[in-house]
Amino acid sequence: MAEAKDLDSTERNATRFPKQTAFNLGDVVTGNAKVLSETEKERLEQQNKRMVTPFQAQKLEQEARKHWDLFYKRNENRFFKDRHWTTREFAELLSSESGPEASENVQETKQVDSVESKIMLEVGCGVGNLIFPLIEDGHRDYFIYACDLSPRAVDLVRQHNLYDERYMKAFPCDITTEEVFTTLSEGCLDIVTLIFVLSAIHPEKFRSVAGTIYRLLKPGGVLLFRDYGLYDMAQLRFKPGHKIAENFYMRQDGTRSYYFAEREVAELFQEVGFTVLVNSYIHRRTINPKENIDVPRIFVQGKFQKPNISNI
């Protein structure tokens, strides 16, 4: 009944937030959550029969950094594909001949090709699958900060042949704490990306992360968000023994994943002061005929802006 109630609420709010353009053939951009079949409902019910114990859940939280370090020790840069799609779906990442001036609040003024740049932070940079495609595609008119919970991931970023501190700086950071403010000052960023990152964080810390990002952005700055959507294929595949809490799961390797409702994401960022520019479910099929792969995926994607002082 709780799931049905959640769906009803989602349906009532389906037209509440502006929707973005569909960028891939076959994408369905909507405010509606997936309608579950009876078989899928049964799968979710089965997950509740054996939950992760409170002791195990606490241990996973305490050892989150260790699990991600082990993940990158095993996989290095071979697991995630480079994200060449980001400038197509987030035009804010495109180069412009004259971007906003870099904030004077950054502890050390950076220049790229002797031109003052706008400043971006990628939260949860992994091994650089977002930032290095940007560099390869010539988007160098802004300075990029990149942080990750895993020091091993940050080391791999620094070892990349395109890593150059003239236009980027990678550093280890737990974004759920105040640690980021040892590197960046409040109100110094034009863009923050939070792409497939928040889902790996305990839901009790979502609001503090959103608040930290709000503090880091300049007035008028934009947060670009994408993450796993409610009832995504990966959520439905979890077996009993992996569910930590509602929509929050433990993977086999000890990392964790949360699955977001569209309205939940918008309300989270609104609560800390953001304005919703767009916010949508994206229903997408990942198809590879050669490998006989046809997988339905669900993401939540949005853009959220820190209001300009003059508009407050």
Checking if the pLDDT of 2 tops 60, the result is no
Whole-prediction pTM value? 0.85
Write down the residue that tokens 């509740």 correspond to: 48
- pLDDT tens, position by position, 121-169: 999 999 888 989 988 887 778 899 999 999 999 999 999 999 999 889 9
The mean-pLDDT minimum among 2-6, 154-158, 186-190 falls in: 2-6
Q: Report residue 292's pLDDT band, with 50, 70 and 90 as the boundaries.
A: low
Contact residues for 280 (Cβ-Cβ < 8 A; gap 6+): 17, 19, 20, 29, 30, 31, 262, 300, 301, 302
* Window from 29-38, 241-250, 255-264 with minimum mean pLDDT: 29-38
Structure tokens at 76: 């290095």
Q: DSSP string of 189-224? A: EEEEEEES-GGGS-GGGHHHHHHHHHHHEEEEEEEE
First to last CA, the chain: 40
Beta bridge mates, 189? 217
Mean pLDDT, the chain, integer: 84
At 178 the pLDDT is: 95
Largest CA distance in the chain: 60
Q: Lowest-confidence range among 19-33, 48-62, 185-199?
A: 19-33
List of domains in the chain? 28-88+116-306 (3.40.50.150)
Average pLDDT, integer, range 21-42: 84
Q: pLDDT, tens digit, for every residue of 40-59?
A: 999 999 999 999 999 999 99
**176 Cβ contact list (under 8 Å, min separation 6):** 201, 202, 205, 208, 209
